[in-house]
Structure 1
Amino acid sequence: MTTTTAAGRSAVPSRLRIALILGALIALGPLTIDTYLPALPAVGADLGASETTVQLTLTGTLIGLALGQILIGPLSDAWGRRRPLIAGAALHVLASAAVFIAPSIEVLGVLRVLQGVGASAGAVVGLAIVRDLFVGRAAATMLSRLILVMGAFPVIAPTLGGVLLNWVSWRGVFLFLAVYGLVMLVVVTMGLPETLPAHRRRSARFGPTMRTYGSLLKDRPFVGLVLVAGLAMAALFSYVSGAAFVYQQQFGMSQQVFGLFFGAGAIWLVVATQLNPVLLRWFEPRQIMTVAMIAGVGVGVVGVLLATFGVGGLAGVVGPVWALLLCCGFVLPNAPALALARHGEAAGTASALLGSLQFGIGAVTSPVVGLLGNDARAMALSMAGAMVLGLIALVTVVRPWQLPDINDDEMTEDRTDETAPAAA
């Protein structure tokens, strides 16, 4: 179902269709990261690289996701949402296809950065489109729905990667990613209308863009919320970067069984994001986020203790990890929603800063697990440490008790019929 303006122009499709399209776009990044996780040991063996060096290809993807958003966010505020999405999807397709012939770990690393830049368009523009159409609790609810769609990919991707590896080498996984990117290129071109009218666009010149970034960085609660979201993402990427080595090497899982266990962890992230809209009927996003961060620190500490003393074996590792992922699932929709609600006039730039710092913090975190030893204790320490730092940022920088309540309005006053979402 789509709405139509009085002039007969097609407007934004139904909320369900918005969630599906944007969720698939935002998922391009996680899918790019997760599908090749079962192949990490094989990549190292084929290219003669150490475990830590192979993990740096994951870091390269996260760096690309961070840098790409810094560039694409302001461009989407100036040019509209569609053109940056189309360009990003095209770059992702080309970089993914080129990995198939990458001769060395260094070339693979560069191509992974380019993949990240291409995938970043979906991440930053997807958030900006949500802010074009929704604010407050409605935005947090839509983000929860997006993470439901996005959450299917971490569940499916490693399992799919393991299945693909039965018939193809690790390079074949990247051909699959090229095909997925090509499908999204077609979907954006044919199925996603522009949500940013010309009268709401901003200058893409360097000076105004830097001033906008400067004003965002002067907003203490915004910066704090970005740090909270980034450190929750760091906990998630500690799991992503370490799980393949912990499950396959420490506990002897096959690539296929690893995919199932990794996907089972992602389910808890999805469960939390879908409980979040229910909780939002009675609680403010800041309240849910605060309780989740406190709980995350608690289960993180328990996980470190169990892993350090070897209590519970595999169950002693996955139990706290899954519980911590559940906590992250309550933080990741609410922190961005609160941050973006403060800067609807520059949603693309604000989304860019938010997303780039999230993935930038994740990029810094990814090699930590390898440096600490690539075992269960290292993964638990990295995850718990990220949550502790996130809680410190929440209390000292955000100060959630000082944040105002947000209302249930779904549209800001300056939005036109062209950007009004239809009833689901």
Structure 2
Amino acid sequence: MILIKDFLSTMSVADYFSMSSLSGCVSRCRQSRRLVLLIVYVTLLLDNMLLTTVVPIIPNFLRQIENTRKAALLSSVSNINYTCVSRSLSAASNASQDGQGISNVLRHYVMHTSHPLCVNFTGNMSDLSNQTKPENDQEPFADQNIQVGLLLASKAIIQLLVNPFIGPITNRIGYNIPLIVGLVIILVSTVVFAFGESYIVLLVARAVQGIGSSCASVAGMSMLADQYVDDKERGNAMGIALGGLAMGVLIGPPFGGIMFEFAGGKEAPFLILAGLAILDILLQLFALQPKVKRESQEGAPLKTLLSDPYILLAAASLTLGTTSIAMLDPSLPIWMYETMHAVEWQQGMAFLPGSISYLIGTSIFGPLSYRIGRWLSAMIGLFLNGISVICIPFSKTMAHLIAPVFGLGLALGMVDCAMMPHMGYLVDLRHVSVYGSVYAIADIALCLGYAIGPSISGSIVKEIGFNWSMWIIGIINIIYAPFMYFLQNPAAKEEKMVLIMKDPSPVQYITYNQNRYSKPSSDKGTLKTTTTH
């Protein structure tokens, strides 16, 4: 709503009445940078709502599938229960006139063990009950951790594989087509999630979402970097766009948990998301008019950008930040169910403080990180990230989770809104101002976190426990934080500096000491860059 009001506020009363036709209004809308920002905001919102809506739904849905399977097995065993159990149990059977004694033993057996049913058992009822107890009560949760972790990680893994191709493609055909194609793919994934009834189908739907997310996120952030050429404006715009991501993360878990528990199943939340995606597709068709639009200059190859140490430092900070929250996605709901006996809506609401603080962080630190120095914002964010993650295992109730999860979301917002525009700034300063490949690298960095986190979370939790898995990732964040100091004054390539000083360019370059920055200066199209050491 704020973006719409800002767009309308740029039109004076005379503008409203001076438009001789509807086509004039449409043309004005299509030329608005704010409308582009609104489209990217909504796209990131929907993508991340789908990303996080499944977090409280999937563990409980898989548990329902498993319980249904066990109930069917129990029903089939009940039909032959009296022939399977030996005559030594006949006394217990007589004690229960309708055979419920044996039925209860069989029920306990089927629900807690996978071994074949004993045929020649001799003894009493308590002996059979004791033999059917699982050796490790935590094993069902550990196995489910792995299942949920692999499903959540599949999206990031596919996105990771697709991103190296999406970046160069956007450089060649423009940003409009990949953006709308990405949203269409996300729509397909949402519908499959709504009606999928098996683990394999949901796994495929999650993987398909990764392709759509890659197209949408790379094209969207590249489009903003292209539209907002001033470094300060770019930071503000990307902070707002990341607010859409934050809003999706904010709404997703409680939306999914509440709808799953109270709307009668998992179809309702995904069908609502599908409807919103259709509206966004129509908006894009109206505003962007997708067509091939080649860049006027060829961007730096992906390999060249990956060899830039400054870009790698920034990308690694994005990976570490997302790994922390990604490890919580599959393991926190199960840990809460196991230790706090939390129901579905509580598991979803546990992520709410982090989502709110991420929204706050992206809103505040978009412009603030430019003033205090983006390297410093990222450093503080990584420190806060590590401390918050370390504190989570000490929580004993839902109330105890509020502070560390809030801190984790705020830290992630500080890192993201500092490093995303900084990636574009590094390309402007050291390479060619074409952004598809660099934001493919940024998305790869985020995907690494979302791929590594869920995929290893289940195995690590199973081997060393939830507590140590959180403490280890927290310590890694704290150790890496000081490396952000090296991003304080990134060096410009000499040939790039010559071009900046002599050639007209649409981009205003701002080189600054990130403790104290200098404003952009230009003289009739010739841009000047000052470097402070």
The TM-score range, normalised by the shorter chain, is 0.7 to 0.9
Q: 2:458 is matched with which residue: 362, 366, 370?
A: 370
State the partner residue of 1:147: 242
Q: 2:379 is matched with which residue: 267, 283, 290?
A: 290
CA distance in 2, matches of 1:171, 1:232: 32
Could you give the per-residue CA deviations for residues 24-75 of structure 1, whole angstroms, max 9, x where no partner exists?
1123332121112121222322444833112211101112332333322221
Structure of greater relative contact order (alpha carbons < 8 Å, 6+ residues apart): 1
Distance 1:58 1:125, change over 3 A: same
Distance 1:11 1:408, change over 3 A: farther
8 Å CA contact 1:91–1:118 kept in 2: the answer is yes
1:29 equivalent to 2:123? Answer no
The letter of the residue matching 1:188 is Q
The letter of the residue matching 1:148 is G
Distance 1:364 1:389, change over 3 A: farther
Q: Report percent identity of matched pairs.
A: 16
8 Å CA contact 1:68–1:120 kept in 2: the answer is yes
Q: 2:173 is matched with which residue: 73, 76, 79?
A: 79
1:214 equivalent to 2:273? Answer no
State the partner residue of 2:402: 318
CA distance in 2, matches of 1:382, 1:172: 38
Could you give the per-residue CA deviations for residues 222-274 of structure 1, whole angstroms, max 9, x where no partner exists?
11101111211112222333332233332222222333332222101111112
Q: 1:249 is matched with which residue: 334, 338, 361?
A: 338
3-state SS in 2 of match to 1:169: coil
The letter of the residue matching 1:329 is G
The letter of the residue matching 1:149 is G
8 Å CA contact 1:73–1:350 kept in 2: the answer is yes
CA distance in 1, matches of 2:206, 2:412: 26
CA distance in 2, matches of 1:299, 1:409: 37
State the partner residue of 2:423: 339
Could you give the per-residue CA deviations for residues 51-104 of structure 1, whole angstroms, max 9, x where no partner exists?
311221110111233233332222111111111122222222223223344353
TM-score after normalising by structure 1: 0.82
Shift of 1:382: 5.6
Could you give the per-residue CA deviations for residues 107-136 of structure 1, whole angstroms, max 9, x where no partner exists?
321221111211222211111011102242
The letter of the residue matching 1:45 is R
Shift of 1:154: 1.6
| Bigger shift: residues 224-233 or 135-144 | 135-144
Distance 1:101 1:12, change over 3 A: closer
The runs of 5 or more residues in structure 2 that have no matched partner are 1-6, 12-23, 67-142, 491-510, 526-533
State the partner residue of 2:505: none
Distance 1:242 1:284, change over 3 A: same
The letter of the residue matching 2:206 is R
State the partner residue of 1:185: 281
Shift of 1:316: 4.1
8 Å CA contact 1:239–1:383 kept in 2: the answer is no
8 Å CA contact 2:318–2:419 kept in 1: the answer is yes
3-state SS in 2 of match to 1:236: helix
Q: 2:59 is matched with which residue: 41, 58, 64?
A: 41
| Bigger shift: residues 23-32 or 78-87 | 23-32
CA distance in 2, matches of 1:386, 1:174: 36
3-state SS in 2 of match to 1:402: coil
1:230 equivalent to 2:319? Answer yes
Distance 1:90 1:47, change over 3 A: same
State the partner residue of 2:126: none
Distance 1:127 1:121, change over 3 A: same
CA distance in 2, matches of 1:196, 1:70: 20
Distance 1:385 1:245, change over 3 A: farther
CA distance in 1, matches of 2:444, 2:408: 23
Between structure 1 and structure 2, the one with the greater Rg is: 2
Shift of 1:195: 11
3-state SS in 1 of match to 2:342: coil
The runs of 5 or more residues in structure 1 that have no matched partner are 203-208, 415-424
CA distance in 2, matches of 1:144, 1:151: 10
Could you give the per-residue CA deviations for residues 255-301 of structure 1, whole angstroms, max 9, x where no partner exists?
22333332222101111112214524642222222232233334444
State the partner residue of 1:107: 201
The letter of the residue matching 1:346 is V
Could you give the per-residue CA deviations for residues 333-363 of structure 1, whole angstroms, max 9, x where no partner exists?
1112111212252301111121022112321
| Bigger shift: residues 152-161 or 8-17 | 8-17
Distance 1:243 1:407, change over 3 A: farther
CA distance in 2, matches of 1:162, 1:294: 31
8 Å CA contact 1:65–1:119 kept in 2: the answer is yes
